[in-house]
Structure 1
Amino acid sequence: MDFIPQTMIAKPKVLLVYTQRMIRGRTFEMIENLGILTLAAQLNANGFDAKAYTGITTDAVKVIETNKDDLFAVCFYCDFDNRSAVASIIKYLKKNKKFYVLLGGPQTLHMTELDLKTYQADAIIKGEAEESLLIWLNAKIKGTADFVPGEIRPGQNFDYVYLEAFSNYELPRNEDVLNYQERPLLSVITARGCPYRCAFCFEGGNSKQLRMRTAEAVLNEIEVRLKNSYRPRYLFFCDDTFTTNPVRLKKILTGLKKLRQNYDFVWFCEGHSGFLVKHPELISEMIDSGMVRMQIGMESGVEAVLTAYGKQAKPADIRKVVEICYREGLPQLTGNYIIGGAFENQHTLEQTTHEVLELLDLAPGMLDISTTFIMPLPGTQIYQHPENFGIVLEDRECLTAMEDFPVNHTEELSLPEVCMGRSRFITAVSNKMKAQFEKDLIDPKRIRADFNLAFKYGIAAGYLKFIYGKNKLMVQYYQKLFEFKGLLKEWQELNEYQKKTWIIHRSADFSLLDLQTTSSDEIEILSYSGRFNSVEMAEKLKLSAIEMDKQLEKMSRRYLILFAEFI
């Protein structure tokens, strides 16, 4: 391109973009895209000035417009969800902008030379591009036509590039994010590929063999990135094969436990219930090394459905993992259920709902249940042979909807019936959670742990988002409790001497009180907040010590008061 000035070629600016449709707050914005971060690090180590950007489509276009005059190239990460959005943006850019535009990402696995016309990018590079992207960009700088592994060219064969020793490349760096501002979440990937072949999963349906990083390489990356952090962090292990190798897992757990002696972090991973029931002792070791949240594949409460998916796990395995996690004190265990999936009918919906409600009974306050519809991802068995699963695809390419509305139904359920099935399932789960809270079935220690994880590490689970967080008294109560870092205590934390001598403090503003349900004694106690201990307050109200204790315990359960040693 003749228009590219020499000053740019000296250290060319490259913007790597992961964008999705216009729905703010989606998961993709919260979790760093390690693909583009890793590529940015590789480019920056080899003479480029690269930045990574993640955001919704309109914001992505604005960012490109702002930086257009300095850009040598813009590289888009393309997956199944953002294909049409990326195609539209590239067409717009090629008409109006003077820089190279490239396309990469997992969706390129299924692209052919026909997609050169569809996307109109200067190049489509298939596969893991740590080497390929560098070769392509350097060739443009030199003005040569170098062979680029994975590049789609008219009339040529092109294969998806899989890198074997990907630990040899540069580590992702947070500072390579455009306009970086530190957030709690810190994403880490420990492997590429997947040994499982779940019928609905893109990774399982398309990946090459599992390629795992060594425990030492994983721990080294974590330590390097934590050294550059200035706040408590929430490590998010992105790969769904984290627990696959027990020997490597134990090495990582030992290393994480050691790192936590110097750095303030907790972590999340995905676990496989079929693996965990065979190695139940690992769950306590994982929790002991800082795991506060884990996801396991749940998908359905019907064993025949799980077998059809190829899950290599049964509802009994899921139940056992839930029991162990609750017993060992894991704060949060999350799982997703597919509604309208394989062989779904009214009976399977009822059976799955019954199973989930029983799981909630086993672990009140721990489970974070979500739902989804089947996404027929390219290369998966459901995409290729939906009839083998009793599924009818109305929109195989998902052009009419994403996760918000089903693109398929089953042989026994229509699209409206699938939607209603999901609504009833969510309602049943929500009502069970609310009932558990209202009946005081949730251990207060779990509630406190959820608030601590939210305030300190940015982790908000289902109970907090949909129940605790809607109670303004609770929110202020725990905000104040954690803000004063041990100077304030809850009633149940106090010993007998402290219950008599510590000062009663109001935890919430009067404006939040429901005066119709607040007694005159309670109002008076709150009015004298920060001035009297329980003995002095009992004398003022003319209550016995036993009556006062009961009153304070009741107010504590309503999140109205906390206690401090001093005024």
Structure 2
Amino acid sequence: MLAADMPLKNMDRQTAASSSQRTHVKNMPDVLLINPLSIFRNVSEKSNLRNYKVSGVKTGVWPPLGLMYIAAELRKSGISVGILDAFAKEYSLDQTLEAIRREEPRIIGISAATPQIRGAYQLASEIKRQFGRNILVCLGGPHVSSDPQFMDRVDCFDFAVLGESELEFPGIVKDLLNGGVPERIYRSDPPVDLDALSVPDRSEFDINDYFKTEQPCFTVITSRGCPYKCIFCSRAAITDKVRYRSPESVLDEIGRCLERWGRTLVFLDDTFGMSRLHATRILEGIIDRAYDLRWTCNTRAHLIDRDFIDLMKRSGCYMLLFGVESGSEHLRNQILKKHVSDEAIRNAVSLCKEFGILSGLYFMLGFPGETRKEMEKTVNMGKDLGVDLITVHPTAIYPGSQLQKTLQEERGIDINAYWTEYAKGTLSFEEIPSVYIPEEMDLRYIQEARKRAYRKFYFRPSVIWAHLKNDMASLKDLKRDAVIAVNLFRHGKTSKDLK
């Protein structure tokens, strides 16, 4: 009988006692939520996918907001829960398993985006090997939510919960703790009233796990969902329904975070400012409450005008990041379905300069029908517009995206099956056709285009001087920018996360 078929009350261990008995035992939660590494290194492994580090300098790692939301709902339901961020702690597989052994949870929930699916599979396999039916293992997160059939191709997870699962997961857990048999897949309806959700509890996180070399910051979401239909994004496979938190609940959360996590805020909305009225009320509230903030967000160029950016500046905005993707307006709008004009991008960048706000552009290389001439427009766009920073990546093909469907229809390639074999370790990352390669190009051409884009942009005297001026007050920032510069020069990329 599979572990998924075993009622939890029949598990052959003393610790499979009632939840009420366990809540009095320190470090013995009923549920342990885990954010895994992309790959655990102390296992024989073909792939070379790496953690988000730049020559030893950790970058862009924040406490897992999604797991915090789920943990808060579990606690509200009277279920004891812990969170282990193995990714931030850079735990080996053995260290992660030892932490599980200390905690003795009855259910483990592993959340994984597609780049983490190998680490999630490694961890789940070892949990089942070492703990057998004593622990039920759940998979959640973007990968399985975008490709539910993943569960048909693997057997190390007892069950999966799809979508935004804060409301459904506590009921599932209670049933399993009382001896219920897990279904293979549970589907969640996205919460409609975001204010009804418990506020994430950040108290158990060690700030030093996240900001050893950078200034502390905290993350907040003001909305969920995205109405746009970009072909490379898998968001719609989960839900594209847009919902907003009340400005008051957002402002209250910001106030609590300021007490411990510093004054730098990152809004993690898919697109901040989709509703001008909603964003305006939040930013006016920041000003009215006299919060000493500096904040940044992802947004879209066509949402920016003079009145809005003036309010952004007065409320503490120091940087705006725009998803431009391609330097070709035709490709961006007709193929990618971005519906953002060159004029809107130029206007947004110009306003950022006028109001003293840093501007950054996200670019991607490799789309259906893209020509070398169009790709060269992307290579040069950041430099030509004079923005403050750029990121450039080959276009990754993720489950649930329109691009994934296009690849299967046009070339007969089932990328989901490839990701599954990668998760199992039977394929290396390099063997996955995970980057869209236009006709008459190859991966090497795209990689060289990325190198050109970074070198043309970052090795200009004006950019070097601007970074040196900013770094003079901080040895940490100077070290970070130095190692990034070395990677840009040697490898044509800012980090060694994905090849």
- Pick the TM interval, shorter chain: 0.7 to 0.9
Q: Give the 5 Å matches for 1:376-395.
A: 376-386=397-407
Post-superposition Cα deviations, 1:187-233, rounded to whole Å, max 9, x if no partner, equal 11111111111111122454231111121121122122334x1x633
Q: Indicate how the Cα distance of structure 1 residues 371 and 4 shifts in structure 2: closer, same or farther if over 3 A, else same.
A: farther
Contact 2:226 2:235 in 1 (8 A): yes
Contact 1:200 1:309 in 2 (8 A): yes
Q: Which residue of 1 aligns with 2:345?
A: 318
1:101 equivalent in alignment to 2:129 = no
Distance 1:375 1:460 in 2: 30
Q: Which residue of 2 aligns with 1:529?
A: none
Contact 1:50 1:176 in 2 (8 A): no
Identity %: 21
Q: Pick the aligned partner of 1:127 from 160, 163, 170.
A: 163
1:10 equivalent in alignment to 2:44 = no
Q: Indicate how the Cα distance of structure 1 residues 251 and 195 shifts in structure 2: closer, same or farther if over 3 A, else same.
A: same
1:466 equivalent in alignment to 2:499 = no
Look up the SS of the partner of 1:256 in the other structure.
helix
Q: Which amino acid aligns with 2:113?
A: D
Distance 1:459 1:7 in 2: 53
1:294 equivalent in alignment to 2:320 = yes
Contact 1:113 1:152 in 2 (8 A): no
Q: Which amino acid aligns with 2:194?
A: F
Contact 1:29 1:55 in 2 (8 A): no
Q: Indicate how the Cα distance of structure 1 residues 359 and 421 shifts in structure 2: closer, same or farther if over 3 A, else same.
A: same
CA displacement at 1:356 relative to structure 2: 2.4
Aligned-pair Cα RMSD in Å: 3.5
CA displacement at 1:393 relative to structure 2: 6.4
Look up the SS of the partner of 1:175 in the other structure.
coil
Q: Which residue of 2 aligns with 1:82?
A: 116
Look up the SS of the partner of 1:297 in the other structure.
strand
CA displacement at 1:463 relative to structure 2: 9.5
Q: Which residue of 2 aligns with 1:327?
A: 354
Distance 1:298 1:113 in 2: 32
Q: Which runs of 5+ in 1 are unaligned?
A: 471-567
Q: Give the 5 Å matches for 1:357-372.
A: 357-360=383-386, 363=387, 367-372=388-393
Q: Indicate how the Cα distance of structure 1 residues 216 and 358 shifts in structure 2: closer, same or farther if over 3 A, else same.
A: same
Q: Give the 5 Å matches for 1:231-246.
A: 232-246=262-276
Q: Which runs of 5+ in 2 are unaligned?
A: 1-10, 40-49, 423-427, 490-499
CA displacement at 1:140 relative to structure 2: 2.6
Look up the SS of the partner of 1:408 in the other structure.
coil
Q: Which residue of 2 aligns with 1:556?
A: none
Distance 1:282 1:77 in 2: 36
CA displacement at 1:385 relative to structure 2: 1.2
Q: Which amino acid aligns with 1:64?
A: L
Q: Higher Cα Rg: structure 1 or 2?
A: 1
Distance 2:158 2:175 in 1: 13
Q: Which residue of 2 aligns with 1:423?
A: 451
Q: Pick the aligned partner of 2:199 from 162, 167, 171.
A: 171
Contact 2:221 2:269 in 1 (8 A): yes
Q: Which amino acid aligns with 2:119?
A: A
Look up the SS of the partner of 1:137 in the other structure.
helix
Contact 1:306 1:312 in 2 (8 A): yes
Structure 1 length-normalised TM: 0.69
CA displacement at 1:179 relative to structure 2: 8.7
CA displacement at 1:86 relative to structure 2: 1.2
Distance 2:267 2:109 in 1: 25
Post-superposition Cα deviations, 1:237-258, rounded to whole Å, max 9, x if no partner, equal 1112211011111110011223
Distance 1:403 1:312 in 2: 33
Post-superposition Cα deviations, 1:459-487, rounded to whole Å, max 9, x if no partner, equal 999799539xx9xxxxxxxxxxxxxxxxx
Q: Indicate how the Cα distance of structure 1 residues 304 and 461 shifts in structure 2: closer, same or farther if over 3 A, else same.
A: farther
Distance 1:168 1:114 in 2: 31
Distance 1:113 1:345 in 2: 34
Q: Indicate how the Cα distance of structure 1 residues 74 and 58 shifts in structure 2: closer, same or farther if over 3 A, else same.
A: same
Distance 1:76 1:448 in 2: 43
Structure 2 length-normalised TM: 0.78
Post-superposition Cα deviations, 1:275-327, rounded to whole Å, max 9, x if no partner, equal 21xx3321121111111122111211111111111111022211111111011
Post-superposition Cα deviations, 1:466-515, rounded to whole Å, max 9, x if no partner, equal 39xx9xxxxxxxxxxxxxxxxxxxxxxxxxxxxxxxxxxxxxxxxxxxxx
Q: Which amino acid aligns with 1:74?
A: I
Q: Which residue of 2 aligns with 1:21?
A: 38
Contact 1:338 1:372 in 2 (8 A): yes
Contact 2:97 2:127 in 1 (8 A): no
Post-superposition Cα deviations, 1:66-91, rounded to whole Å, max 9, x if no partner, equal 34143222210022222232122212
Q: Which amino acid aligns with 1:91?
A: S
Post-superposition Cα deviations, 1:431-458, rounded to whole Å, max 9, x if no partner, equal 33xx2257x7x5xxx8656666x789x8
Equivalent pairs counted in the alignment come to 439
Contact 1:405 1:419 in 2 (8 A): no
Distance 1:179 1:447 in 2: 27
Higher relative contact order (CA 8 A, sep 6+): 2
Q: Which residue of 1 aligns with 2:4?
A: none
Q: Indicate how the Cα distance of structure 1 residues 255 and 36 shifts in structure 2: closer, same or farther if over 3 A, else same.
A: same
Distance 1:164 1:345 in 2: 42
Q: Which residue of 1 aligns with 2:101?
A: 68
Distance 1:159 1:7 in 2: 26
Q: Pick the aligned partner of 1:223 from 231, 238, 255.
A: 255
